[in-house]
């Protein structure tokens, strides 16, 4: 490593410390937990290696932040240790190993740089400020993933720092032929397990679409009976269990968001973005086919919904074809790189992969909780994303660490609030809601309360949820019931023998 590598070490007396120890989720850091002693701000791999060696030599624990969007406290819960902050390592260029994206690069910055310089993109997430490090190492799913697969599927090599049994930092450039086991582990198992990834390399990336078509509708809670709600969820799921597996639909990404009926944001909204396999939106027949499934359920134009004071708004037909939506045609870049950083709220998150459409039991439970007048329900969202398509390539089971390759939908349960005093009611609501959805005959007896069994594929590690630690089988929820987790344990023992990199949900050695 270069002798000149000397990353800034920010201690508790520095006015920057209080800001840099915080992330996107205002629940953390917990004021009851002692803070780290320092924060090392590293602008490249050399500075990161130097900082890591200093930390190990001092007998301290390192944790790593790239964008700070982790849902739990994995990097912040480090009493007396040192946080390595990679957020200024945001290089995006092209060289010997192909396209390079530094681990601290925000996704929006990566999209802008890759497109403007090279005309390509990554099929990653839609939140502008999420950091590449955690996002890609955990799989990296986004709006284009049904068309192109996960971002981690495109990674062809990595720069990663590991620590050997003697405390020496080892700088590695790994690929399918060099430390192939570690390379596979770093493509989907999640960050903070084996070492510190500093750079991702891609020999090829998909050409960015030139145009996308957006459309959306919403549905009023005022006339939303349980029967109608069940039809909505099941028609949505049925499409992706059947027609959505056909390749001509893979350019269709949909978001179905359900907010509580009694809250200030009471809404049931459905949004879709579509492009053809050739990167254009000239033929939107698939988009119409999808939305036509709901035409008899009184959809409102997107942005509509129930009126005030209990008055129901009638559907408004805004389309010349008699459809209750307009299609907005935009350049892919304008639709993707649109700013927005989020953050500032306290939050709790849960996830589930679904291989089949919704059962009657799941619909009934969702309806019950979304109709609840409980204060704990306020600020919650049941977000149902389309999944599958190119993601479900069985060949990727062997060379990545993403086990969920047969799902058709990915659900994210979210709740946001401001006051710490409200933590108990919101956390309880989320836990009760989630557990209720996955309790019943649709779930195997050994997995009650969790999305496991013939109809499900567990949870998404990038939507980490420490509640799942209550189950002894929690690794199966995130890594499947096959040989992936035993493989990851072997990689952990080999490359991190002293368990330097760990959290409450890291791979156990």
Query: How high does pLDDT run on average in the chain?
Result: 93
Radius of gyration of the chain from Cα atoms?
Answer: 23
pLDDT at 313: 36
Residue 315, pLDDT > 70, answer no
* Residue 337: band (very low, low, confident or very high) from pLDDT cuts 50, 70, 90: confident
Chain segment 174-223, per-residue pLDDT in tens: 999 999 999 999 999 999 999 999 999 999 999 999 999 999 999 999 99
In this predicted model, which residue has the larger pLDDT, 342 or 484? 484
Give dist(CA 288, CA 246) in Å, integer: 16
Structural domains of the chain, ranges and CATH numbers in brackets: 212-479 (3.40.462.20)
Chain segment 303-312, per-residue pLDDT in tens: 433 333 333 3
Q: Quick count: other Cβ atoms within 10 Å of Cβ 32? A: 5
**Pair 213, 329: CB distance under 8 Å:** yes
Give dist(CA 244, CA 147) in Å, integer: 11
Residue 323, pLDDT > 90, answer no
* Residue 319: band (very low, low, confident or very high) from pLDDT cuts 50, 70, 90: low
Going by the DSSP 8-state scheme, the letter that residue 126 receives in this structure is S
- Residue whose pair of structure tokens reads 């989907």 in the numeric block: 188
Distances (CA, A) of 493 to 333, 487, 496, 499, 500: 43, 10, 6, 8, 11
* Residue 499: band (very low, low, confident or very high) from pLDDT cuts 50, 70, 90: very high
Q: Encoding tokens for residue 193?
A: 């397990």
Chain segment 406-465, per-residue pLDDT in tens: 999 999 999 999 999 999 999 999 999 999 999 999 898 999 999 999 999 999 999 999
pLDDT at 309: 34
φ, ψ dihedrals at 122, nearest 5°: -105, 145
Distance of CA 61 to the CA centre of its chain: 26
Of 226-230, 303-307, 326-330, 422-426, which gets the smallest average pLDDT? 303-307
Three-state SS for 149-209 is CCHHHHCCEEEEEEECCCCCEEEEEEECCECHHHHHHCCCCCCCCCCEEEEEEECCCCECC
| pTM summary value | 0.94
Mean pLDDT of 310-337: 68
Give dist(CA 88, CA 200) in Å, integer: 15
Q: Quick count: other Cβ atoms within 10 Å of Cβ 275? A: 27
Cβ partners under 8 Å of residue 416, min gap 6: 345, 346, 347, 379, 380
pLDDT at 301: 87
**Pair 332, 275: CB distance under 8 Å:** yes
pLDDT at 264: 82
* Residue 343: band (very low, low, confident or very high) from pLDDT cuts 50, 70, 90: low
Sign of CA dihedral 252, 127, 120, 122: negative
pLDDT at 324: 86
Chain segment 154-179, per-residue pLDDT in tens: 999 999 999 999 999 999 999 999 99
Q: What percent of the chain has pLDDT over 90?
A: 89
Distance of CA 72 to the CA centre of its chain: 13
Mean pLDDT of 100-106: 98
* Residue 472: band (very low, low, confident or very high) from pLDDT cuts 50, 70, 90: very high
Q: Encoding tokens for residue 454?
A: 């013939």
**3-class DSSP state for residue 225?**
coil
pLDDT at 263: 79
Peptide bond connecting 439 to the previous residue in cis, omega within 30 degrees of 0:
no
Going by the DSSP 8-state scheme, the letter that residue 447 receives in this structure is G
Give dist(CA 436, CA 450) in Å, integer: 9
Residue 5, pLDDT > 90, answer no
Chain segment 28-61, per-residue pLDDT in tens: 999 999 999 999 999 999 999 999 999 999 999 9
Give the chain's count of helices (H) and strands (E): 15, 17
**3-class DSSP state for residue 346?**
strand
Chain segment 352-367, per-residue pLDDT in tens: 999 999 999 999 999 9
């Amino acid at each position: 490593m270069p002798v000149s590598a000397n990353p800034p070490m920010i201690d508790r007396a520095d006015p920057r410390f209080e800001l840099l120890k915080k992330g996107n989720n205002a629940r953390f850091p917990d004021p009851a937990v002692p803070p780290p002693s320092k924060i090392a701000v590293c602008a490249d791999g050399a500075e990161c290696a130097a900082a890591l060696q200093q930390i190990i030599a001092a007998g301290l624990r390192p944790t790593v932040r790239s964008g700070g969007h982790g849902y739990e406290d994995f990097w912040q819960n480090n009493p007396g240790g040192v946080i390595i902050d990679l957020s200024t390592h945001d290089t995006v260029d092209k060289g010997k190993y192909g396209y390079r994206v530094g681990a601290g690069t925000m996704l929006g910055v990566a999209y802008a740089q890759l497109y403007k310089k090279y005309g390509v993109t990554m099929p990653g997430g839609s939140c502008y400020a999420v950091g590449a490090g955690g996002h890609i190492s955990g799989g990296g799913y986004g709006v284009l993933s049904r068309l192109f697969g996960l971002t981690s599927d495109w990674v062809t090599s990595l720069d990663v720092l590991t620590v050997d049994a003697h405390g020496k930092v080892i700088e590695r450039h790994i690929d399918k032929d060099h430390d192939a086991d570690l390379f596979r582990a770093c493509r989907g198992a999640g960050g903070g397990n084996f070492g510190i990834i500093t750079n991702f390399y891609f020999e090829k990336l998909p050409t960015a679409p030139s145009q996308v078509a957006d459309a959306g509708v919403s549905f009023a809670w005022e006339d939303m009976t349980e029967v109608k709600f069940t039809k909505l969820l099941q028609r949505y799921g049925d499409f992706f269990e059947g027609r959505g597996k056909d390749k001509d639909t893979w350019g269709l990404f949909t978001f179905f968001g359900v907010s509580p009926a009694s809250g200030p944001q009471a809404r049931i909204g459905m949004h879709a973005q579509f492009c053809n396999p050739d990167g254009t939106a000239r033929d939107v027949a698939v988009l119409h086919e999808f939305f036509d499934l709901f035409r008899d359920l009184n959809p409102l134009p997107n942005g509509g919904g129930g009126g005030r004071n209990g008055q129901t708004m009638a559907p408004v037909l805004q389309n010349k074809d008699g459809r209750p939506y307009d299609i907005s045609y935009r350049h892919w870049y304008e639709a993707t790189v649109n700013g927005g950083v989020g953050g500032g709220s306290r939050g709790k998150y849960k996830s589930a992969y679904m291989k089949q459409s919704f059962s009657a039991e799941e619909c009934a439970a969702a309806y019950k909780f979304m109709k609840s007048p409980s204060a704990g329900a306020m600020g919650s969202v049941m977000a149902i994303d389309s999944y599958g398509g190119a993601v479900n390539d069985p060949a990727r089971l062997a060379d990545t660490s993403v086990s969920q390759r047969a799902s058709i939908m990915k659900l994210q349960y979210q709740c946001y609030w401001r006051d710490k005093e409200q933590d108990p009611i919101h956390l309880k609501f989320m836990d009760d809601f989630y557990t209720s959805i996955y309790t019943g005959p649709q779930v195997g007896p050994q997995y009650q309360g969790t999305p496991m069994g013939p109809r499900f594929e567990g949870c998404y590690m990038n939507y980490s949820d420490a509640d799942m630690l209550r189950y002894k089988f929690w690794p199966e929820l995130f890594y499947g019931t096959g040989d992936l987790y035993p493989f990851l344990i072997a990689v952990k023992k080999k490359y991190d023998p002293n368990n330097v990199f760990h959290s409450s949900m890291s791979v156990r050695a």
